[in-house]
Structure 1
């Protein structure tokens, strides 16, 4: 892991500092009690996504959004369409988010359940319901999958992306795309070039994993359907024989920085998944801004 450590040092990733500007970061509702770890390490008003995990109730998600706002950041609650039991449940959630935390942006996903528990089959159904607009949500994020999805074909993913962007435009929402995390810049750059060539001009936030153990990163990668070949691991200084080591996103960010061309890839920022812990990710970001 020495190669990874060298390439992930603050000096080695200086070229990627510009890409870090305007980044966002993801937390769970339980992380609301650690927001002080972010203050002074990431800029004020940084968008903080709040995941919609099973086992966390609506009250805890709303409280997390309020605490994010009070800490000086911008709350971006997730809405998991298939985990919403009724239209009234979504309305109550949106009303509480707006009243309690002045939420004006959300991130909408289908969710990982095989079947919906209520009236919303997917993110598109939530968008087309008109509820987001009714409750004053101005910006809506949707998911992007540069490396595909283990349960959905590329054709279906592309159609869903374009359908959601069109529905958001028709409803008067600003839109952005946040991607799954990955280790390899090449499929990200190719995917970006493809959607830009097809007319997508929405901002894109590229998902990157914060510093974490290699074992943890591989576990999350397997769960998310992210490709982790031996070739890719070697490319970024990772080794499956050194699972007790740790790795950060510096090499990936450097590779993205080297390959990005605004004329081809458009407006791009980073979205951090702190698999190794919120404090480690915040410290890593602070050292490079």
Structure 2
């Protein structure tokens, strides 16, 4: 959710299992008050906030400490998601999320678990070898500092690169739990727009496999095929380690929560 999504959270709260993690974004057009208000709303709704820390958007260490201090005051600093962020040029001292992790500031404010980014289909602006080194370095740094870690991936439409990437993560000796980014149900045009923005593969073969109809862009699509196939493939792979889902709520919090609840009920039958 973003800082503007509090009404959507309240609308969806009865459909979301108590204790679920809800990520709170760090957008350039939102301020500290909005981020803190959103994290507080997550707690009051019975969930666990995971506020984002966008490293390159931080202008100073003082700004990071102010943010973490405000989160700690409301009991929302235990879990964070450290990511590099969009600006090509850092606005302050942190070139990437690894710099934030290595700063030692997180522990001062009660951070216990740090989510870090994973890119099964690569990143449009970062070479693959750089991504792998960053993942290894961040995993090592978190382990050395005694912080728990979770890898949270960019969303995907195709299970093949996701499963291959998970195997490579484990081959490299990283046993961190992985949460696979999964688009919640949304309009097809909206999903494809986000895919283009984030460099996610969305060619004709993949969108057909996912369930899109390119002849009806006004329709909607959900992740039924993706989630079912991913579950089947991982069940066949004893070495995949702990893997769960992270939903990107492009179509709204309630639509995603309703879908997940219905899908869980159907698959339990």
TM-score under structure 1 length normalisation: 0.89
Match of 1:174 among 117, 133, 148: 148
Match of 2:252 in 1: 277
For the 8 Å contact 2:184–2:249, the answer to whether it is kept is yes
For the 8 Å contact 2:152–2:181, the answer to whether it is kept is yes
Match of 2:15 in 1: 41
Report the 3-state secondary structure (helix = DSSP H, G, I; strand = E; otherwise coil) of the residue aligned with 1:235: helix
Match of 2:243 in 1: 268
Aligned-partner Cα distance in 1 for 2:76–2:94: 24
Q: Is 1:67 the equivalent of 2:41?
A: yes
Match of 2:4 in 1: 30
Report the 3-state secondary structure (helix = DSSP H, G, I; strand = E; otherwise coil) of the residue aligned with 2:73: helix
For the 8 Å contact 1:37–1:282, the answer to whether it is kept is no
Aligned-partner Cα distance in 2 for 1:147–1:107: 20
Aligned-partner Cα distance in 1 for 2:211–2:40: 40
How many correspondences in the alignment? 263
Report the 3-state secondary structure (helix = DSSP H, G, I; strand = E; otherwise coil) of the residue aligned with 2:14: coil
5+ long unaligned stretches in structure 2: 265-269
For the 8 Å contact 2:77–2:109, the answer to whether it is kept is no
Give the aligned CA root-mean-square deviation in angstroms.
1.0
**Post-superposition shift, 1:279?**
1.6
Q: Is 1:123 the equivalent of 2:121?
A: no
Q: Deviations over 1:30-69 (max 9, x none)?
A: 1122222222211101000001111100111011111111
Q: Is 1:135 the equivalent of 2:109?
A: yes
TM-score under structure 2 length normalisation: 0.95
For the 8 Å contact 1:211–1:276, the answer to whether it is kept is yes
**Post-superposition shift, 1:103?**
2.4
For the 8 Å contact 1:65–1:101, the answer to whether it is kept is no
Match of 2:222 in 1: 248
What pairs with 1:1-150 in structure 2 (closer than 5 Å)? Answer: 27-150=1-124
Q: Is 1:184 the equivalent of 2:158?
A: yes
Match of 1:235 among 189, 205, 209: 209
Greater RCO (Cα-Cα under 8 Å, separation 6 or more):
1
Match of 2:170 in 1: 196
For the 8 Å contact 1:178–1:207, the answer to whether it is kept is yes
5+ long unaligned stretches in structure 1: 1-26
Aligned-partner Cα distance in 1 for 2:251–2:13: 18
**Post-superposition shift, 1:100?**
1.5
